[in-house]
Structure 1
């Protein structure tokens, strides 16, 4: 009798699991709420970044303009593009794709996955100097952000240039999150070494796992996102760009009265001790040399081959704070020069804010654009999209 009780729940679990996996994706798509895409535009939920369904639907629509970036996208205020363009009833809606720790290599996987949907698609890509540390993004930032679904699909992806795909796979294999995934690592290894028999062997469990991950993506898509505190503010409605810049100055001034370096008071309050310890600590630092430049070039290559139309946004650093830490100006200027050359050489356009390092209220804190910086971006986005 005990064996019956033991096997009963196991059999039931297997039946339920099989049912979940075998449900056709088309059936699940019919269960997605009608407002789910609109809701996800500002949700900044990792399940959306690491999935494919919602982004695929977004790219199909002419209504949405994706903004790819990292942690700055969550720094919400009235001047944030999502609020500004909604308040002013623009013909398009920004769709935010990014969170802290997302750098070129994470976005590369995403762009490769959707390469066939990027033709003539206008988009905005915010590039942060902090991505360009010497060894590129580390495991701590890579592991929680990369998409297993997109990584597993990469070897089977015929939408991107073969050499670009191989370089991306080789780069991914340097991270423990991929190394420790035996099937994925062996799949990549067999592909890169042209071992067709081994690749076919590992393709069987890989494709089965892709099917499971796709269903997981669909189930998360059906669920509603957590409520956000990103509420619409109409104080930026029907203003000229000059009025908005003046308004942003006033807004920023009120929020930096008790801090140094024009840092948001709420940030400074919690980072004050850390900032004190950072005086003169970055004398030997530079953004001139980094593995990130290779990752960024792969991004440029994927977008160029896909005939995408990106506007790159070159974010400055907080000049006063960087001077305080001793970070050499040359190590910053070399970065600005190099990144602009890469973009130019690929035939793309950019909004260059590198001369705003010392502009009060352009940055919200030590590294994130905000307030007046958003106003400049709103203006450049509108010109670009018109």
Structure 2
């Protein structure tokens, strides 16, 4: 009887270890195209804080990953996820990010994907408000932090050593990282020459790897087995079959009617809820602000470095701010121009394309509020995405300029 129990226990342990250490590629076999379509626009944090669904998505050239932040949730009729839904369209946008998902968050995601992004096309939407003087703080980083992606980054030996060291130093400044002693040891070993720290990291590495495998299986359970997005659906835009100039006119008309209560071109509902009764308090409220100096530039440089290492073909979308509103708030155009030019040069110097829409910050209905794309802005972005996806080329150095149709 004891032999039978012992054999049963050994078998159970073997099955557990087999399930734990099976590669993700095995589980990807059970992820269908329908499952990926359901998650493509859901903006479920479990989806983009994991790796399993993204790994599978990247094997299908019909998906175009779009990394961004809160603008991705503005899914009006001109939003890419609704605009590119027809059978004639060649690609499906796959949204990755939410409010607070800035360069450092996306760096960890991209680094965790590794070879998955090699020679693939991705889109990266830049928000000017990321580039404040303090950069991303714990309030915005913590809810978007993925332990799975961070452990994947730490344990990935193919990432350039200098990139890993820079990222490790940056991560060690954040409070949520400091709470994970196992991770802290691994990060410190990347930045230190101290033999005791390196030996401790070496000893603990099997534990770190086992925890990483547990996080992978948690990702499997939450995103594939539970299938949280099975009932998520969007309605198709009725404008996608029109010529681009007519789509832009339709966006202009809708924007005009939906922002009739103010001269800033801000959506009526947003203006009434957040601005109307406090308008006077916003006057010159940004007069001492600037987007020209920020840790965000270094975080963005890490994104550029990992994309360059993987020969990823990336299009960066440079989103403007609402010019009339920023003028009212005391943040003049000449100060905004410093950011627009600086970030564009940084990206182009790394060899990537920029769809530069900075000249549209006075264009009515380009944004839906003070900072988020909407109406006509999405139309210009849609056109850039369509062109970028359709052109088969090596990682470019020239800038796209879609200032006019």
- Give the TM-score normalised by the residue count of structure 2: 0.87
Shift of 1:87: 3.1
The counterpart of 1:328, out of the listed 326, 332, 344, is 332
Q: Does 1:174 align with 2:173?
A: yes
Q: Does 1:293 align with 2:297?
A: yes
Counterpart-to-counterpart distance in 2, 1:30 and 1:344 = 38
Once the two structures are overlaid, the 10-residue window that deviates more, 90-99 or 117-126, is 117-126
* SS of alignment partner, residue 311 of structure 1: strand
Counterpart-to-counterpart distance in 1, 2:18 and 2:280 = 57
Per the alignment, residue 235 of structure 2 pairs with: 232
Q: Does 1:305 align with 2:309?
A: yes
Shift of 1:146: 1.5
1:316-370 alpha-carbon deviations (Å, 9 max, x no partner) = 0000110111113222100011011101111111111000001111001111011
Counterpart-to-counterpart distance in 2, 1:34 and 1:378 = 23
Q: Retained in 2: the 8 A contact 1:285–1:328? A: no
1:121-178 alpha-carbon deviations (Å, 9 max, x no partner) = 1111110101100111111000010210111222221222110111011101110010
Shift of 1:233: 3.0
Distance 1:154 1:231, change over 3 A: closer
Counterpart-to-counterpart distance in 1, 2:331 and 2:56 = 43
Once the two structures are overlaid, the 10-residue window that deviates more, 188-197 or 40-49, is 188-197
Per the alignment, residue 109 of structure 2 pairs with: 110
1:261-314 alpha-carbon deviations (Å, 9 max, x no partner) = 111112112202454421111111110111101111111111111100001110
Counterpart-to-counterpart distance in 2, 1:254 and 1:18 = 65
Point out where structure 2 has 5 or more consecutive residues left out of the alignment.
Answer: 1-11, 391-405
Q: How does 1:229-308 map to 2 (within 5 A)?
A: 231-272=234-275, 273-308=277-312
Q: How does 1:2-13 map to 2 (within 5 A)?
A: none
Per the alignment, residue 8 of structure 1 pairs with: none
Q: Retained in 1: the 8 A contact 2:50–2:149? A: yes
* SS of alignment partner, residue 144 of structure 2: coil
Q: How does 1:180-219 map to 2 (within 5 A)?
A: 180-194=179-193, 195=195, 196-219=198-221
Distance 1:383 1:32, change over 3 A: closer
Per the alignment, residue 158 of structure 2 pairs with: 159
* SS of alignment partner, residue 313 of structure 1: strand
Once the two structures are overlaid, the 10-residue window that deviates more, 73-82 or 274-283, is 274-283
* SS of alignment partner, residue 316 of structure 1: coil
Counterpart-to-counterpart distance in 1, 2:52 and 2:330 = 45
- Give the TM-score normalised by the residue count of structure 1: 0.91
Shift of 1:112: 0.9
Distance 1:21 1:221, change over 3 A: farther
The counterpart of 2:377, out of the listed 348, 370, 373, is 373
Q: Retained in 2: the 8 A contact 1:112–1:159? A: no
Q: Retained in 1: the 8 A contact 2:135–2:295? A: yes
Point out where structure 1 has 5 or more consecutive residues left out of the alignment.
Answer: 1-15
Q: Retained in 1: the 8 A contact 2:42–2:232? A: no
Counterpart-to-counterpart distance in 2, 1:133 and 1:56 = 32
Q: Retained in 2: the 8 A contact 1:88–1:238? A: no
Distance 1:19 1:258, change over 3 A: farther
Shift of 1:230: 5.8
Q: How does 1:350-361 map to 2 (within 5 A)?
A: 350-361=354-365
* SS of alignment partner, residue 235 of structure 1: coil
Per the alignment, residue 134 of structure 1 pairs with: 133
Counterpart-to-counterpart distance in 2, 1:186 and 1:337 = 39
* SS of alignment partner, residue 294 of structure 2: coil
Q: Retained in 1: the 8 A contact 2:121–2:389? A: yes
Q: Retained in 2: the 8 A contact 1:21–1:211? A: no
- Please provide the CA RMSD for this pair: 2.2
Q: Retained in 1: the 8 A contact 2:283–2:329? A: yes
Per the alignment, residue 348 of structure 1 pairs with: 352
Counterpart-to-counterpart distance in 1, 2:85 and 2:178 = 43
Distance 1:78 1:87, change over 3 A: farther
Counterpart-to-counterpart distance in 2, 1:43 and 1:21 = 33
Counterpart-to-counterpart distance in 1, 2:267 and 2:344 = 29
Q: Does 1:97 align with 2:96?
A: yes
